Structure 1
């Protein structure tokens, strides 16, 4: 039977060229680029809470790192290193090989090295800590939004939430449509390049993990401002647009989790620069509202009338 150290050597000890010393010792040894700040974020994914226990392990490996990289993207940080603490109910070599391949595929795409972690026996879950670098004064934070700033969002909203609704039996989709939407749920794309491009342009930023309203709300709270969003400007994919009559449409688009897009604010005079960034990255960037001095978050329809909101997003400890 494989020991803890056998598992680490076999699945999670690939070369880490950016580390002085990677996995295999009591600690990793890392050299931060002189003059740079270290950005650090940790996320835990738990079976039955963040993913289904029978999830494809290769996609789970990708997603478990990608959602952490999304946090670095929201800070405008360049990914450098990651650690993984994984708890397993049993040793399943086929599952571990697929999970590791998915994780390392995401790591290779974003030039981040796995440099250590831990393995434990218990209910399936994984905790990743990611580290990135950002120049002093260049980090995108939640507390910089100012009255008059424009609110922007990358990509499209609601795809992942509708995929989850289909898995839970609340929505019938064709196999083709489900495959398209479920890719957004199971294999999110962290907007690292966008975060880097928004340095010195965005006044604040956050990644959308718990839903637009909830996550934008964190910016408003930290910045001590409010916002008004134009419902008609919210970007949705063609598939989600076709589901506009579904009772869950507003909840999925406004409060659905797992988008992993960036929501950010910027002075109004940065519009041309942001449009150019979107064009250079081939990424849809949409202005959806404005920051106001008055506290609170308001969503209006095409006639400027407020829309009643019955949900703002996911909360692990909400009753």
Structure 2
């Protein structure tokens, strides 16, 4: 290139090839990867596409953008009970990209590859006419026939969620409104917590084993707890009853719940949690909680699966709540 920046193939050789440690990647020297499934496993594939100023801010740290792009896919694998194997990446760089930005982006990928035991298998890099875009297809492995779908919940099952709910949406509101934390009287630690939860999701990959061992249905919470519960309820042909008083909340969300109910509901179902929602038969619920805690991903009982046809009922200590105040994240 005449502007001093490396061309596509030099960019791949210099920055992306070192990330391709799986033999199936062929060192990124061919047109496609060759992946041989291990005996006794099914492959689980998922794709998420992230765009600047839609899923992240264009001026976010390159390391954080890379981590978020990879982690939201790892969250989908965890919900199926799959262990990460590798990923393909499509990267559309804006016209003003710099080699330093790409180096930092790849450093972020390298750190998460080491943390989550996954490697780049291949992909494509192009010039974007409309801002940065990152598309990742993650590939995981699960024992044959053991992938957990969202369609298996049955009446009488117990509902569980991992982590805390609503933090990432609150972090987004805090990014968009500099007065958000002051108006809602959040402490510096609480503000830091919600900002970090938006910037850096925490995929619950440790739950893969407990999910395949005990869950009848599972999915990751990306569109919001109520919105994703509705997806599970419709797929399973059941009703879900969620007790808000049992849903795990951070200090920041507890403060919003007490002082700004409408704002709380917007965040509560705002999406980007990347926690796991799972249904477990009543006789296996205690074992599931124990296994999740042992895996370093504690889960909390939040409700029940009931007879129904795709409905979700939210109540707070017995009082029914209006679900129209928080519709969940929508892509369009």
- TM-score of the aligned structures, taking structure 1 as reference length: 0.95
Q: Aligned residue for 1:199?
A: 212
Say which SS state the counterpart of residue 288 (structure 2) adopts: helix
Q: Secondary structure at the match of 1:203?
A: strand
C-alpha separation in 2, matches of 1:171 and 1:237: 16
Residue 174 of structure 1 and its aligned partner are, at CA, apart by: 4.7
Please show how residues 1-319 of structure 1 align to structure 2 within 5 Å: 1-14=5-18, 16-20=20-24, 21-90=26-95, 91-122=97-128, 123-169=131-177, 171-172=180-181, 173-244=186-257, 245-246=259-260, 247-253=262-268, 255-295=269-309, 296-302=311-317, 304-310=318-324, 311-317=326-332
Contact 2:20 2:122 in 1 (8 A): no
Question: 2:204–2:297: 8 Å Cα contact kept in structure 1?
Answer: no
Q: Deviations over 1:36-59 (max 9, x none)?
A: 111001110001111111111111
Task: Please list the CA deviations of residues 272-314 of structure 1 after superposition, one character each: whole Å capped at 9, or x if unmatched.
Answer: 1122123213333111111111221111121x23101122311
Q: Secondary structure at the match of 2:214?
A: coil
CA distance in 1, matches of 2:195, 2:48: 21
Q: Give, in angstroms, the shift of residue 8 of structure 1.
A: 1.2
Instruction: Give a deviation string over 1:201-226, Cα, whole Å, max 9, x none.
Output: 00000001110011111111111111
Note the residue ranges of structure 1 that are not aligned, 5 or more in a row: none
Cα RMSD over matched residues?
Answer: 1.4
| Distance of 2:63 and 2:270 partners within structure 1 | 24
Supply the distance in 2 between the matched residues of 1:144 and 1:22 (Cα, whole angstroms).
40
Question: Relative to structure 2, which stretch is displaced further, 276-285 or 54-63?
Answer: 276-285
Contact 1:19–1:31, Cα closer than 8 Å, also in 2: no
Shift of 1:101: 0.8
Count, aligned residues: 315
Deviating more after overlay: 190-199 vs 145-154: 190-199
- 1:61-95 per-position Cα deviation (integer Å, ceiling 9, x unaligned): 11110001001001101100101110011331111
Q: Following the alignment from structure 2 to structure 1, what is the Cα–Cα distance between the partners of residues 143 and 9?
A: 37
1:270 and 1:35 mapped to 2: Cα distance?
25
3-state SS of 2:23 partner = coil
Distance 1:43 1:164 in 2: 19
Stretches of structure 2 lacking an aligned partner (at least 5 in a row): none
CA drift at 1:179:
1.9
For residues 19-49 of structure 1, what are the alpha-carbon distances to aligned partners after superposition, in whole Å with 9 as ceiling and x for unaligned? 3324221011112102211100111000111
Q: Which has the higher helix share?
A: 2
**Once the 2 structures are TM-superposed, how far is the Cα of residue 118 of structure 1 from its aligned partner?**
0.5
Q: Deviations over 1:212-259 (max 9, x none)?
A: 011111111111111111111111012221222223102211x11111
